[in-house]
Amino acid sequence: MTALKTIDVFIGTRPEAIKLAPVVAALKRRSGFECRVVATGQHREMFQQVATELGFTPDIDLDTMQENQTLATLTARLMQRIDAWLEQGRPDFAIVQGDTTTVLVAALACFYRRIPVGHVEAGLRTGNVWAPFPEELNRRLASQMVSLHFAPTESARAALEREDIPSESIEVTGNTVVDALLMELDRQRERLIRDSLEVSLASLIGADWSSRPFVLITGHRRENFGEGFLQICQAVRMLAERYPELRFVYPVHLNPNVKAPVTRLLADVANVSLIPPQGYRNFVALMSRCKLVLTDSGGVQEEAPSLGKPVLVMRDTTERPEGVEAGTARLVGADADRIVQHVSRLLDDPTPTLPWPTLPIPTGMDTLPGVSSPGSNASWVARAAQLLTKRGLLWQTLRIPHEVAAQDGVAYVKGLVNFDRDRACPPRHKDGERPRRWSSGSASALGALRHLLGGAALLSEASIGRLKYLVVMAETEPG
């Protein structure tokens, strides 16, 4: 009998756990593999929180976390413990994700032992080794040591090829964060989970957390330590005073370089809610309900637009240029005046300058719960038509002028469904006006969907995948 091939998935932080959860689930469904989750302990508490929610537990815990350890100390401890595990566990293959210190050290330790590595989310680049620090250098170095590069976009592939990475070792996969998001949205359709979310967030923020409009804030980047966080906190304080009817919700990172200044400068502001770091379930619910997101995170730049939320990025560079090029995200830096200016512009303008995005969906999403269906493609279009009739919209990503002619409506829907991977913004109406939502009584809307229903068998897999995504999102969205 042929021995199972062993694949070790190394995870150190909360974002890695989120983005690798769909990969772990897919590997565990496949015969011929033994998948082991190796937790390095880089972010123990926050990692365990999301791992439990996403349905997996570590098989091996390397327990490297120490309070206030330097990057050099963390790197040394990771190398010692990962290498010791490789000696004991002897995997046939390893998988890493992103750009953390865990990624760099696991890739190097495996390279020393000639163990091939697959890198999920390969090829992201800002072009500046100091921003983000140390992530930009981590991922550049890792790319020289791994065997397979799973690039999320064509631009990531191009970045790898410019560094002379062999094209045959690169596969464009889309980003697994969208898979994870869809998995979680499907779970949140369950009544018990929805009720639990309401109770949990009400206890943290207030009974009116879902009815009072709020801005969601996240921040943790090392390059913003010090003056950067002082500027961010100053901006939040100014915005809270300018918009007293709004709430500003900030799940505060546990790193003392973040927690100390944020608590000192914002804890006394009445409409600022400083809450502990949230599990993935609560955080997705917060993103779903907020007006906009202020963040210095990389992953949130992908998650929030997938939920139809504009993102202001409190950094000067981004390794995710597609969102900025599409207009779904904007770089504002860690500068108080710029942050206030851009947030105010979005809050004051009833037709925001950032369009609601429609991000590409990775292949393989038919394996996801809530998206898999024994029915035909036509059944998904029928569900879309039913939602439109019932609620007057397909969700925020399908905002179509009700006055367009039926044939224009067909083209518009097809334009949304047949997305362009590298240009992720919805098309505008031919007169240049910003699209509005279709009304439920619109002949254009229903006619377009009936047309799609009749021709559903001719839709490409990418097209039907996009439609499935919109339907799942619409059915999950409250109201």
Q: Do both 399 and 327 map to the same domain?
A: no
**What residue numbers bound the domain in which 72 lies?**
5-173
pLDDT at 154: 85
Annotated active-site residue 222? The verdict is yes
Rounded to 10 degrees, what is the CA torsion of 290, 291, 295, 298?
Answer: 80
Residue 202 placed within a domain: no
Point out the catalytic residue in the list 8, 16, 99, 322: 99
The answer as to whether 354 is a domain residue is no
Catalytic residue among 253, 383, 399, 437: 253
Note the pLDDT of residue 250.
95
Within-domain flag for 145:
yes
pLDDT the model gives residue 155:
87
DSSP state of 424: -
Q: Are 363 and 174 in contact (CB under 8 A)?
A: yes
Buried b (16+ CB within 10 A) or exposed e, 197-227: beebbeebbeeebbeeebbbbbbbbbbbbee
The CA distance from 262 to 314, in Å, is 15
135 is catalytic: yes
How far apart (Å, rounded) are the C-alpha atoms in residues 140 and 158? 14
Q: What is the pLDDT of residue 384?
A: 54
- Measured CA to CA, the distance from residue 8 to residue 28 in angstroms comes to 12
> Of the listed 53, 121, 136, 296, which one is catalytic?
121
Q: Within this chain, do residues 166 and 88 fall inside the same structural domain, yes or no?
A: yes
Is 68 a domain residue? yes
The pTM score is 0.68
Q: Is there a single domain that holds both residue 401 and residue 316?
A: no
Whether residue 316 sits in one domain with residue 213: yes
220 is catalytic: yes
Tokens of 22: 């769909």
Task: Clarify whether residues 75 and 14 are in a common domain.
Answer: yes
Per-residue pLDDT of the chain (479 residues; tens, 9 = 90+): 457 799 999 999 888 999 998 899 889 888 888 999 999 988 776 677 777 787 778 899 998 887 778 899 999 999 999 999 999 999 999 999 999 999 999 999 999 999 999 999 999 998 899 988 899 999 999 999 999 999 988 889 999 999 999 999 999 888 888 888 888 888 888 899 989 999 999 999 999 998 999 999 998 887 778 888 899 999 999 999 999 999 999 999 888 888 888 999 999 999 999 999 888 899 999 998 999 999 988 888 888 877 878 899 999 888 887 777 767 788 999 899 999 999 998 888 755 444 433 333 333 333 333 333 334 444 555 555 555 444 433 333 333 333 332 333 334 444 443 332 223 333 333 444 433 333 333 333 334 443 443 433 333 444 445 455 555 554 554 44
**99 a catalytic residue:** yes
Q: Which pLDDT does position 38 carry in this prediction?
A: 96
- Structural domain includes residue 42: yes
The last residue of a domain, from among 125, 150, 173 = 173
Residue among 8, 53, 135, 296 flagged as catalytic: 135
The total number of structural domains in the chain stands at 3
- Under 8 Å between Cβ of 87 and 279: no
Do residue 146 and residue 239 come from a single domain? no
pLDDT, residue 326, reads: 67
Q: Is residue 363 part of a domain?
A: no
Same domain (yes/no): 37, 168: yes
Whether residue 330 is found in the same domain as residue 384: no
pLDDT at 46: 66
- Is the residue at 178 inside a domain? no
What is the rounded CA–CA span in Å between residue 237 and residue 182?
A: 34
Out of 222, 247, 281, 342, which one is annotated catalytic? 222
Among candidate residues 125, 157, 220, 399, the one labeled active-site is: 220
Q: Is the peptide bond before 132 cis (omega within 30 degrees of 0)?
A: yes
Q: Quick one: pLDDT at residue 91? A: 96
Q: Considering the domain boundaries, does residue 133 fall inside one?
A: yes
Alpha helices of 6-129 — where are they, by DSSP H?
A: 14-29, 44-54, 71-89, 101-112
Q: What DSSP element (H or E) covers 60?
A: strand 60-61
> 335 and 390 share a domain?
no
Q: What is the pLDDT of residue 471?
A: 55
Examine the domain organization and report whether 270 and 163 are in the same domain.
no
